[in-house]
């Protein structure tokens, strides 16, 4: 009887051990998931170099009576030269992929880096600024699709150093130019452009 009692004791102890081990693994998984969620927002690699969060958004608009859809992908690239801002903080620079379709046809598909805009930023210290953003530029007088890329300090992109317009024509050709005060379209599904404005 004593031996049976000991067996029950060992069985209970073993069960508790298993439950504790499983509970520990589940807790560790939750912690890791939370950490990954934070890293996807603000990340830092092993060398202490920060990366701005990767973003992607899509919207539609009408130019010359034709509905276009555009997608802007902005992502950090660890093979580009590292940006060191005025405070000495290191960042990976970004690339911007701009993809435009009309119906099912690809009108434009191009990837830009800061080097793409070198002629327009040669008078500033481009080692301290990054390619931080790109938005659609509201320009009702233009038959082209107009986008604006921002070059700025990654820590203070409110103070934009350069606004470079990317003007895309319906044949897929594009041109670049500096602009001072672009009127930018808010990026939100509830703020899509009114197609009638461009017809």
pLDDT in tens, 164-186: 999 998 889 999 999 886 666 54
The pTM of the full predicted model, rounded to 2 decimals, is 0.69
Question: Are residues 59 and 149 both part of a single domain?
Answer: yes
Question: Are residues 145 and 178 both part of a single domain?
Answer: yes
Question: Are residues 112 and 29 both part of a single domain?
Answer: no
Which of 36-45, 113-122, 135-144 is predicted least confidently? 36-45
pLDDT in tens, 65-112: 889 999 999 999 999 999 999 889 999 999 999 999 999 899 999 999
**Residues spanned by the domain of 36:** 1-41
Q: What's the pLDDT at 46? A: 58
Question: Are residues 131 and 180 both part of a single domain?
Answer: yes
Q: What is the 3-state secondary structure (H, E, C) of the chain?
A: CHHHHHHHHHHHHHHHHHHHHHHHHHHHHHHHHHHHHHHHHCEECCCCCEECCCEEEEEEEEECCEEEEEEEEEEECCCCCCEECCCCCEECCEEEEEEEEECCEEEEEEEECHHHHHHHHCCCCCCCCEEEEEEEECCCCCCCEEEEEEEEECCEEEEEEEEEEEEECCCCCEEEEECCCCCECCCCHHHCCCHHHHC
Question: Are residues 12 and 67 both part of a single domain?
Answer: no
Residue 35 has a CB neighbour count (10 Å cut-off) of 10
pLDDT in tens, 48-70: 899 999 999 999 988 778 899 99
pLDDT in tens, 1-40: 444 444 444 444 444 334 333 333 332 322 223 323 333 4
Sign of CA dihedral 127, 109, 185, 189: negative
């Amino acid at each position: 009887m004593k031996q049976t009692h000991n067996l029950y004791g060992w069985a209970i102890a073993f069960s508790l051990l298993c439950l504790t081990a499983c509970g520990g693994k589940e807790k560790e998984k939750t912690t890791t998931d939370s950490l990954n969620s934070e890293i996807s927002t603000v990340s830092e690699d092993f060398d202490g170099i920060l990366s701005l969060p990767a973003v992607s958004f899509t919207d539609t608009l009408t130019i010359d009576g034709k509905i276009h859809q555009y997608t802007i992908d902005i992502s950090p690239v660890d093979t580009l030269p590292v940006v060191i801002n005025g405070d000495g903080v290191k960042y990976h620079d970004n690339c911007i992929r701009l993809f435009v379709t009309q119906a099912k046809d690809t009108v434009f598909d191009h990837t830009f880096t800061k080097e793409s805009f070198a002629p327009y930023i040669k008078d500033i210290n481009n080692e301290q600024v990054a390619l931080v953003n790109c938005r659609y530029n509201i320009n009702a007088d233009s038959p082209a699709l107009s986008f604006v890329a921002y070059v700025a300090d990654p820590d203070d992109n409110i103070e934009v150093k350069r606004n470079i317009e990317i003007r895309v024509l319906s044949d897929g050709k594009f041109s670049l130019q500096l602009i001072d005060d672009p009127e930018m379209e808010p990026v939100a599904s509830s703020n899509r452009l009114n197609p009638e404005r461009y017809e």
